[in-house]
Amino acid sequence: MPNARISGTGFYVPPRVVTNDDLVARGIDTTNAWIVQRTGIEARRYAEEGIGTSDLALPAARDALARAGLRPRDVDLIVFATLSPEMAFPGSGVLLQQKLGMCEGDDVKLCGALDVRNQCSGFLYGLQVAADAVRAGSAKHVLLVGAETHSAAIDLSTRGRTVSTLFGDGAGAVIVSATDEPGGVRGPWLGADGRHAELLCQKVWDIRKRPFIPLDADGVGHVDAEHMWAQMDGRVVFKHAVEKMCLALMQACWATNVEPADIDLFFFHQANLRINQYVASQLGLPDDKVVHNIQRYGNTTAATIPILLAEAERDGRLTRGKKIAMVAFGSGFTWASAIVDW
Ligand code: ACO
């Protein structure tokens, strides 16, 4: 049975930088000091209107393929993690396949394209699908993408400030490839607790109703603000996040017989710098081993961990032979962890 390794990384963030002061200038009753002190976020990126999540994913996917020395037709499966797909259906995976030129011409490859809907844990949930496909021999190379266009779906008014100030747009991608070398991807280990499904959610419609979005007398659909925007009980999310991230990381260490001290770099989901600092302090992890980018990008949900990986490779911190741990927690609640020999 082959092992699964990460053979290429890529990322793309849209060029428009939106600082905390830019949000104040839009009329949101907040301050740079409040956001930095509570979350660590200084800026985030917003895509322009007309750009979709698969558009952000395309340069990230091309970047990862190039670094793996592969062409689109070498991909046996696309796994696309996002909570902000272009449409209710189909998912963004098929849109990316088409944009990569895999549906016709020299790179044609009508491989499977799967969307994963696990929010901030989406990349690691997707990594389990990708690594298992490789280990089972049903795929040699899997293109795994996490991408989000949050800026279109956050309430940029004072009413929505608790959620909207946290999120940004971006995309990250990795290639998960078969290898005969030992090690590679260990896990991921996944968890979920559906009792908390409504503590962090964006309902938009109610499929139990007829029709699923209320219509007015003219037959026009209306979504009220409570359902249109994401709702979050931030304090409860914070409490569960630190607990589950600590447990998920320890689970990965126990399962692989690895001590946290043996791990070279930690890649945590970036929801709040304070959450990650708390987790690191609980587990006694030194600051220089914990990688952050929330200051520049905010929370990019499924894109967060692959962007972190790609940036760490490019700045020389993440090199072949290093042992890394990844941990995520988010809506669901869902959480996941993995250890990878790079
Ligand atoms: N600017 C100024 N004031 C604000 C802002 C803001 N951006 N946001 C909230 N406030 C106010 C609130 O209205 C409240 O005012 P009040 O006391 O007059 O009612 C006050 O600040 C305190 O609000 P809290 O929500 O209690 O603030 P808290 O210290 O908990 O920080 C935060 C909020 C940053 C959201 C924090 O709870 C958090 O990070 N939670 C976890 C978020 C997370 O991990 N999300 C998961 C990932 S997302 C995903 O999976 C999709």
What pLDDT was estimated at residue 321? 96
Q: Residue 7 contacts by C-beta under 8 Å, 6 or more apart in sequence?
A: 67, 68, 69, 70, 141, 175, 176, 177, 179
What pLDDT was estimated at residue 124? 98
120 classed as catalytic: yes
Amino acid at residue number 183: G
Distance 234 CA to ligand 1 centre (A): 5
Strands 141-148 and 112-116: unpaired
Nearest CA to ligand 1 atom 37: 234
Distance 162 CA to ligand 1 centre (A): 5
Question: pLDDT tens, 263-303?
Answer: 999 999 999 999 999 999 999 999 999 999 999 999 999 99
299 classed as catalytic: yes
Question: pLDDT tens, 47-84?
Answer: 999 999 999 999 999 999 999 999 999 999 999 999 99
Cα 223 to Cα 200: distance, rounded to the nearest angstrom: 18
Cα 77 to Cα 178: distance, rounded to the nearest angstrom: 13
- Which pTM was predicted? 0.97
CB of residue 272 inside a 6 A radius of ligand 1: yes
Interval 235-246 mean pLDDT: 97
Q: Are 9 and 143 in contact (CB under 8 A)?
A: no
Distance 245 CA to ligand 1 centre (A): 19
Atom of ligand 1 nearest to the CA of 330: 50
According to DSSP, residue 164 is labeled H
Cα 179 to Cα 249: distance, rounded to the nearest angstrom: 25
pLDDT: which is higher, 225 or 86:
86
Phi-psi region of 332 (alpha: psi -120 to 50; beta: other; left: phi over 0): left
CB of residue 38 inside a 6 A radius of ligand 1: yes
Q: How confident is the model at residue 312 (pLDDT cuts 50, 70, 90)?
A: very high
Question: pLDDT tens, 101-153?
Answer: 999 999 999 999 999 999 999 999 999 999 999 999 999 999 999 999 999 99
CB of residue 293 inside a 6 A radius of ligand 1: no
Q: How confident is the model at residue 333 (pLDDT cuts 50, 70, 90)?
A: very high
Nearest CA to ligand 1 atom 50: 330
269 classed as catalytic: yes
Q: Output the average pLDDT for the chain.
A: 97
Query: How many alpha carbons lie under 13 Å from residue 169 in its C-beta half-sphere?
Result: 26
CB of residue 30 inside a 6 A radius of ligand 1: yes
